[in-house]
C-alpha cells in the first residue's frame, strides 16, 4: 500500500459526500421558506429590522443560493467527487483491463457460483467448441493453455464498471456548464412597445444596460383569449435588424423563443398601452397610412388629408375589445363608428370610401438570455441518465472454465463465475448457461 495522505483521504471519503449532501439538502430548505431576491425594505417590513439583519449577515437573503457559503458547499461536493474518482478510478480501470487468465486456480475453486462435471471429449476440442459457443452468445472469450489443461475466460459488460464514474463526471459537466453560463452569459429583459426597436436589454439583477450588438423590433403583439377569458397565447412578431437591414423575422410565443447570435428572446409578459395603431386606406386612390394615435386625441393624416381620433373604447380587464373612432375628411359631417379590436371596417364618405383598421397597442415583455453553457449542461444531463442506466441495470459478468486432463484419462471441467452487481440475477444466468455448456 502506498503511503496515504490524510488530507487526500478526507476529500476522497464517501463520509464527506454523505455529509455534504445532507448539509446541502437541509440548508436548501431555508431559501424555500424565506422568499428570495426581495428588496431590503421588504425583508425589514416582513421580519423586523433585527431578524432581517441577521438573515443578511448569514446570506439567507437576498440570494442564498448564490451566497459564498452555499457556493462553497457546491464546490466541496465537486472537489469531493473529483478526488474520490481520481482515488478509485485507477483501481476500477485495472479491473476492467485485468488479465483474467492469470486468476489463480485456488481463487476459482472458492468462487461462487460454481459447478464441476466430467467430460468425454479431450480438453483441446472441448475448449475450442466452448469458445465458439460463448462468442456466438455474446461473450468476449479468450483462452490459455496451461501444462496439461486449458483455462477459458469469458466476460460481458466490463465497461459497465465505468457507469458510476459517468454519473459522477456528469455532475461536474453540469456544474461546468452552469459556470460557463454565469461568466459568459447574461439574463435580462426588455419592455418593447409595438413598432419600436431597441439594441439594449437590461439585466435582471442590476438593471444595467447590455448592448445586444443588433437591433430588435416588435412589429406586432397579440393576446388571444379562450372563450372563458383565459389567455390562450401571447404572440410577438419580432424582427432583427443589423445596420438597418432585416436579417431575421419570427413570431414568438411562450415556449417558442427567437435566437440570434447566441442571444435568445423569450415571450414573458406584456403591458397594454393607451395608444392605438390605426391603418387607413383610401379605396379610390389606394393611398394607405398608418398612425399611432393616443386615446382621445385627434391626429391629422396628411397624405389622405383627414383627421382621426379614438373617442371611446370598451375593455375586458386591460385588453380593449371595441374601439369607437371619429373620422373627418371635411367632406360632410364627421363619421363616428365602432369596430372590434384588430378588425377592419369600410367607411363610406361622400367622396371617398376608406377601409379602417384599429388595434390597441401593447408593449411586449421579453426575457433576454445569453447562456453559452446550456449545451454543456444538457450534455451533462444526457451523460447522467446514460450513466445511471449503466450503473443501476448493468453489471460486469465473468466466467472461467478450467478444463483439465485427469491422470486416469478422464477430463474434468470447473466452471466458476461472478458479477459485480445483481448477484441473484447472475446466478440464474450462470445456472442456465452451465446447463447448455454441459451439452456443448
Instruction: List interacting residues with ligand HEM (CB under 6 A).
Output: 14, 17, 77, 80-81, 84, 164, 167-168, 171, 388, 391
Q: Which residues, including other chains, have CB under 8 Å from residue 321's CB and lie 6 or more apart?
A: 314, 315, 340, 341
* Single residue of 21, 40, 101, 432 touching other proteins by CB under 8 A: 21
Q: What's the rounded Cα separation, in Å, for the pair 63 and 417?
A: 55
Check whether the bond before 62 is cis (ω within 30° of 0). Answer: yes
Find out whether 310 and 323 touch, Cβ atoms under 8 Å: yes
255 lies in the binding site for other proteins (CB under 8 A): yes
268 lies in the binding site for other proteins (CB under 8 A): yes
* Single residue of 8, 10, 117, 378 touching other proteins by CB under 8 A: 378
Q: What's the rounded Cα separation, in Å, for the pair 105 and 101?
A: 10
Find out whether 92 and 36 touch, Cβ atoms under 8 Å: no
256 lies in the binding site for other proteins (CB under 8 A): yes
408 lies in the binding site for other proteins (CB under 8 A): no
206 lies in the binding site for other proteins (CB under 8 A): no
Q: Which stretch binds other proteins (CB under 8 A): 41-49, 212-220, 333-341, 374-382?
A: 374-382
Q: Which three cell numbers stand for residue 248?
A: 431575421
Provide the 10 A C-beta neighbour count for residue 351. 10
Q: What is the SS3 string spanning 42-107?
A: HHHHHHCHHHHHHHHHCCCCCCHHHCHHHHHHHHHHHHHHHHHHHHHHHHHHHHHHCCHHHCCHHH
Q: Which three cell numbers stand for residue 263?
A: 442571444
Q: Which does 80 bind (CB under 5 to 8 A by kind): other proteins, ligand HEM, none?
A: ligand HEM
Report CA-CA distances (Å) from 177 to 69, 78, 174, 372.
Answer: 20, 13, 5, 8
Q: Tell the smallest beta-carbon distance from residue 192 to ligand HEM (Å).
A: 41
* Single residue of 98, 129, 254, 315 touching other proteins by CB under 8 A: 254
Q: What's the rounded Cα separation, in Å, for the pair 308 and 339?
A: 14
Provide the 10 A C-beta neighbour count for residue 61. 25
Q: Which stretch binds other proteins (CB under 8 A): 43-51, 53-61, 131-139, 382-390?
A: 382-390
Q: Tell the smallest beta-carbon distance from residue 197 to other proteins (Å).
A: 20
Q: State which of positions 129-188 bind other proteins (CB under 8 A).
A: 178, 187
Q: What's the rounded Cα separation, in Å, for the pair 346 and 353?
A: 7
Q: State which of positions 328-347 bind other proteins (CB under 8 A).
A: none
Q: Which does 81 bind (CB under 5 to 8 A by kind): ligand HEM, other proteins, none?
A: ligand HEM
* Single residue of 238, 293, 363, 369 touching other proteins by CB under 8 A: 369
Q: Tell the smallest beta-carbon distance from residue 93 to ligand HEM (Å).
A: 13
Q: Which does 183 bind (CB under 5 to 8 A by kind): other proteins, ligand HEM, none?
A: none
- Between residues 18 and 311, which has the closer beta carbon with respect to other proteins? 18
Residue listed under C-alpha cell 412597445 = 193
Where do contacts with other proteins occur on this chain (CB under 8 A)?
A: 14-15, 17-18, 21-22, 24-25, 28-29, 31-33, 35-36, 65, 178, 187, 226, 228, 230-234, 253-257, 264, 266-268, 367-369, 371, 374, 377-378, 381, 384-385, 388-389, 392, 424
Amino acid at each position: 500500500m502506498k503511503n496515504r495522505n490524510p488530507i487526500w483521504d478526507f476529500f476522497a471519503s464517501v463520509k464527506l459526500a454523505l455529509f455534504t449532501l445532507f448539509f446541502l439538502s437541509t440548508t436548501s430548505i431555508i431559501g424555500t421558506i424565506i422568499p428570495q431576491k426581495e428588496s431590503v425594505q421588504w425583508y425589514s417590513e416582513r421580519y423586523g429590522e433585527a431578524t432581517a439583519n441577521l438573515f443578511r449577515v448569514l446570506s439567507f437573503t437576498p440570494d442564498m443560493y448564490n451566497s459564498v457559503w452555499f457556493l462553497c458547499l457546491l464546490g466541496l461536493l465537486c472537489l469531493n467527487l473529483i478526488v474520490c474518482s481520481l482515488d478509485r478510478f485507477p483501481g476500477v480501470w485495472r479491473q476492467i483491463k485485468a488479465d483474467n487468465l492469470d486468476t489463480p486456480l485456488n481463487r476459482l475453486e472458492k468462487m461462487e457460483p460454481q459447478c464441476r462435471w466430467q467430460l468425454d471429449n479431450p480438453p483441446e476440442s472441448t475448449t475450442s467448441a466452448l469458445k465458439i459457443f460463448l462468442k456466438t452468445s455474446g461473450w468476449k472469450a479468450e483462452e490459455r493453455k496451461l501444462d496439461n489443461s486449458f483455462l477459458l475466460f469469458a466476460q460481458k459488460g466490463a465497461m459497465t464498471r465505468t457507469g458510476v464514474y459517468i454519473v459522477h463526471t456528469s455532475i461536474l459537466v453540469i456544474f461546468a456548464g452552469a459556470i460557463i453560463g454565469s461568466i459568459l452569459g447574461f439574463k435580462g429583459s426588455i419592455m418593447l412597445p409595438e413598432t419600436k426597436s431597441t439594441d439594449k436589454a437590461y439585466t435582471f439583477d442590476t438593471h444595467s444596460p447590455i448592448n445586444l450588438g443588433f437591433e430588435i423590433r416588435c412589429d406586432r403583439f397579440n393576446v388571444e383569449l379562450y372563450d372563458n377569458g383565459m389567455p390562450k397565447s401571447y404572440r410577438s412578431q419580432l424582427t432583427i435588424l443589423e445596420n438597418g437591414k432585416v436579417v431575421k423575422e419570427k413570431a414568438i410565443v411562450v415556449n417558442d423563443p427567437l435566437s440570434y447570435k447566441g442571444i435568445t428572446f423569450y415571450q414573458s409578459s406584456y403591458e397594454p398601452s393607451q395608444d392605438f395603431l390605426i391603418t387607413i386606406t383610401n379605396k379610390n386612390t389606394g393611398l394607405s397610412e398608418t398612425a399611432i394615435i393616443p386615446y382621445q386625441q385627434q391626429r391629422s393624416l396628411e397624405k389622405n388629408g383627414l383627421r382621426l381620433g379614438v373617442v371611446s373604447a370598451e375593455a375586458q380587464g386591460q385588453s380593449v375589445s371595441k374601439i369607437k373612432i371619429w373620422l373627418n375628411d371635411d367632406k360632410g359631417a364627421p363619421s363616428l363608428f365602432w369596430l372590434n379590436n384588430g378588425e377592419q371596417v369600410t367607411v363610406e364618405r361622400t367622396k371617398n370610401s376608406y377601409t379602417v383598421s384599429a388595434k390597441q397597442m401593447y408593449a411586449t415583455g421579453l426575457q433576454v438570455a445569453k447562456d453559452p453553457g446550456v449545451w454543456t449542461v444538457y450534455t451533462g444531463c444526457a451523460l447522467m441518465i446514460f450513466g445511471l442506466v449503466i450503473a443501476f441495470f448493468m453489471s460486469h459478468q465473468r466466467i472461467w472454465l478450467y478444463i483439465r486432463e485427469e491422470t486416469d484419462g478422464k477430463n474434468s471441467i470447473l466452471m466458476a463465475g461472478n458479477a459485480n452487481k445483481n448477484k441473484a440475477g447472475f446466478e440464474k444466468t450462470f445456472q442456465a448457461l452451465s446447463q447448455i455448456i454441459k451439452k456443448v
